[in-house]
A and B are shown apart, each in its own frame.
Chain A
Amino acid sequence: MATKKPIEQVERVAIRFAGDSGDGMQLTGTKFTESTALAGNDLSTFPDFPAEIRAPAGSLAGVSGFQIHFASEDIRTPADSPDVLVALNPAALRANIGDLRPNGMLILNSDAFTTKNLGRAGYAEDPLPSLKDRFRVVEVPLTAVNREALKDLKLGTRETDRCKNFFALGLMFWLYNRPIEPTLRWLESKFRGDVLEANTRVVKAGMHFGETTELFPVSFSVPKAKIQPGTYRNITGNTALAWGILGAGIQLGRPAFLGAYPITPASEVLHELARYRHFGVKTLQVEDEMAAISVAIGAAFAGELAVCTTSGPGLILKQEALGLAVMTELPLVVVDVQRAGPSTGMPTKTEQADLLAALYGRNSDSPVPVLAPATPGECFTIMIEAFQLAVKHMTPVVVLSDGYIANSSEPWLIPDIESLPRGEVRHHAEGADFQPYARDPETLARPWAVPGTPGLEHRIGGLESEEGTGNVSYSPENHGRMVALRAEKVARVAHDIAPAEVNGSDRGELLVIGWGGTHGAITSAVNEARAVGKDVSSLHLRHLNPFPSNLGEVLGGFRQVLVAELNCGQLWRLLRAEYLVPAELLSKVEGQPFKVREIRARIDTMLAKGS
């Protein structure tokens, strides 16, 4: 659309959409993200919503937000502070205004600022006059202009008002010169009749409103990002996990088998996989978390690539069965999309506090490899790696994702299938003198002999097994040997994992270590500091058990070490215990990801102290 108003070019923008949980903020943010991806910007998103499906309208508890950061350069986080806040009601304003950067743009639905709504949000008086001194406030009578656009359609007021998020979306499309077509295509695929007409009309009306209203003197453009050439798509961590499970099935030549019980924020993986039966994948939604891992272990015993997906409370319920998979040495992948706890905690909020539970949360010495993806896109490849390790080493593997990467999205360079690692599921076939607990001399893995194979009939179970024969054994020496063998088998996984790679210099004053979804914030903070000459590097651990074999050496190259994680110091404790380094801890447990500036501040403090 040709625009008559001037267009101002900016390098990066962060916008937060905020409204009631029934206002469709997540959808609005997702559609804006899709258009932004197609516009060729690098981007990072952060959906932040309550667990309640529909909290009381207008209340602070019901505020749902979606932040998108997009740029013409490489970015890794959804930004510490939004430049623009779109607030659909006073509660959304109150819950989010503290984050808006000074002199940022505040776009409001002025129709929603009634005395009643102000009261629901806990405002004693209208906050707008005082805000006008600190922000560029744009008051859009959104409800009225949206109703006006739809007045000749036979929709009730409720249905009409429900479209106003798409009016706001259209306005933002205009303001940042985003393509409208992907959203129109999506509407056509999703709706019919008046609902299709209404939504299509208000997106366009929003754009026209931007062009004609005097509220916005200019619009903005963000040039395409100069990023690695190739074909990209937008992807969230949970979608990537599901596709990674399908990918593992293709790359290892055997469709996966998923046992699952619905739990926030992991359920989308089950939903997504259930749509792809033509890949041969079997998804079983069963009665509880224990059954979910049990059906998966049953399938693993029968020779399948078995997986289960859960979140913290579910991981704890699965621990007993996970111990059985350790004891019976069966391949299995358990994905924990971590959320804030303990107990039910804050189901839709992120945390990284299940690391010690994954490592040590079972009875007795029960080692398992633990992996953690750092970005939404990495959720895809990590599933293939997890399955490869599980079948090669005959061990359950835990993958720790988190609520942040599960729901946030990034442009993802679609991998070339040919470049993906391949593997083969090998079931034991030779029958003579079969020993279920004989071991591969290199990996110490036991043979995977599956029901249906003549001559290999054998029994396994949770009782301690005699080395070799697998017969039940109470021999003290045998138990000691088996405990050591299980530990050594997992330790040898280190031979198959990539060495730790430092971002920055291999030696120096300060190394910042993180794992999982904090990658973007840590890398951004370290790169910012390096750009102004600070002697700091970072290391992000994908493998948390075993650690990469060169980790001790890497740590030895730095005078100070900082571990930044969203828990009270779980990796920090492990590194101090394992390598005897006096590492410091930057801990955050607020259900929110790190802000870049929080890490940066600590880097500066430590460097000032060190010099």
Chain B
Amino acid sequence: MAIAPAALKSKDFVSNQDVRWCPGCGDYSILKNIQKVMPELGVPKENVVFVSGIGCSSRFPYYMNTYGFHTIHGRAPAFATGIKASHPDLSVWVVTGDGDGLSIGGNHLLHTIRRNLDLQLLLFNNRVYGLTKGQYSPTSRTGMHSKSSPQGSIDYPIDPISFALGAGATFVARTIDVDAPHLQEILHRAHQHPGTAFVEILQNCVVYNDNEWLEVEDRKTRVSAALALHNGEPLVFGPKEARRGIRIRDGVPSIVHLEPDENPESAGVAVHNEAHESPSYAFALATLARPDFPLPIGVFRAVEKPTYESMLQAQIDDALAARGPGDLAALLHSGDTWTVES
């Protein structure tokens, strides 16, 4: 009879290594919340693997008392693919950043998402290169002044959510480093999702790009600066006295001002549907950006399709059923052979 293991606690997931992020870094909050959520997932600690690439966020595995692999720049999703495809029983978490995941590792991120392995991709987006000391990143705003763009960046940024949707992601969400309840909820949802779960975590770099997300991190400004996504509920934001909603016509979102008692749906405000058949709806949401629109926070899309590892195993099972287990001697003697007598 299996003996129920002693319930795990957050501290069981804390490694013996000193955390070496800058004081005030958003990563501390994310680490604490992941360590808080881990025991709640019901996964034995030895079955959890954290995989990362290079960058500040990629130091993450060293601080988790699970299996961990700090790999090379941009390629964590590929390493994670190998781990998950060979061992579907493991709970695999990739931690990456905007530079690691969307610049040097853009290709691996794209292809890992489209394969839909059942793993979690957490992209910490602080819109700057931290570990290399402050260059603009692929998510930095055009015009950003940084060490490598003293006259302002002339790159147009990429939006992680649009990228993931474009790659065919089955689960796409955005959350905030310092919003503990929301972050925990999204981590739970990402883990429950049977397929690749892509989560953009807005994260503050206190040294090189401080307050980049202040509007949505600060509870006072968030009410107008953020759009909370709740499945089945209308896309409404703003203070009670000045409620607004998002209407989507021909794929183009616009803002609707609502009277205090007005029914948002009657006013044409879209009702959030994570499982919308077409990704166009989620894509329209992804285009909502500051300062013209509130920034959507929550689950953009959650649909299901078979995972890569399950289809791979099914092919092995089919081949075994059709041909029996592989026989090396039979293989070597297959086809035309001839015998030389002594």
Contact = CB atoms under 8 A, between A and B. Distances in A.
Contact of B86 (A234, A243, A298): A298
A278 B333 contact: no
B2 to A, nearest CB: 13
A457 B72 contact: no
Contacts of A229: 339-342
Contacts of A290: 75, 78, 108
A259 interface: yes
Contact of B82 (A259, A278, A455, A463): A259
Contacts of B41: none
A71 to B, nearest CB: 14
Nearest to B322: A278
A457 B340 contact: no
A291 interface: yes
Interface string A279-310: 11110101110110011111111111010000
A458 B67 contact: yes
B277 to A, nearest CB: 27
A584 interface: no
Interface stretch (B215-223, B282-290, B312-320): B312-320
B338 A417 contact: no
Contacts of A276: 319, 326, 331
Given A233-B333, A282-B312, A38 B338 contact: yes
Contacts of B149: none
Nearest to B61: A459
A278 B70 contact: no
| Residue among B47, B65, B67, B315 facing the most chain A CB atoms (10 A cut-off) | B67
Interface stretch (A97-105, A129-137, A446-454, A547-555): A446-454
Contacts of B86: 257, 282, 298-299, 302-304
Nearest to B80: A298
Contacts of A302: 49, 82-83, 86-87, 90
B329 to A, nearest CB: 5
B69 A459 contact: yes
Nearest to A247: B328
Interface in A375-431: 414-415, 417
Given A282-B316, A302-B90, A417 B326 contact: no
A278 B328 CA distance: 11
Contact of A294 (B79, B332, B340): B79
B71 A277 contact: no
A246 B81 contact: no
Contact of A287 (B70, B85, B111): B111
Interface string A455-496: 111111111000000011000000000000000000000000
Interface string B57-96: 0000110111111111001001111111111011000000
Contacts of B75: 290-291, 294, 321
Contacts of B62: 459, 461, 472
A461 B67 contact: no
A461 B70 contact: yes
B325 A278 contact: yes
B108 to A, nearest CB: 6
Interface string B1-31: 0000000000000010100000000000000
B70 to A, nearest CB: 3
A460 B68 contact: yes
| Residue among A227, A296, A457 facing the most chain B CB atoms (10 A cut-off) | A457
B331 A246 contact: yes
Contact of A284 (B44, B79, B81): B81
Contacts of A20: none
A37 to B, nearest CB: 7
A299 to B, nearest CB: 4
Contacts of B17: 459, 471-472
Interface string B85-122: 11101100000000000000001101100000000000
A231 B82 contact: no
Contacts of B72: 294, 320-321, 324, 462
Contacts of B71: 294, 297, 321, 324, 461-462
Contacts of A304: 86
A454 B44 contact: yes
A388 to B, nearest CB: 16
A232 interface: yes
A472 B19 CA distance: 12
Nearest to B51: A298
5 contacts: A257-B86, A280-B325, A452-B46, A459-B15, A460-B70
Interface of B: 15, 17, 44-49, 51, 54, 61-62, 64-72, 75, 78-87, 89-90, 107-108, 110-111, 312, 315-316, 318-320, 322-326, 328-329, 331-333, 335-342
Across the A-B interface, give the 7 residue pairs with the lowest CB-CB distance, nearest first: A298-B82, A461-B70, A279-B326, A295-B82, A294-B78, A459-B68, A277-B319
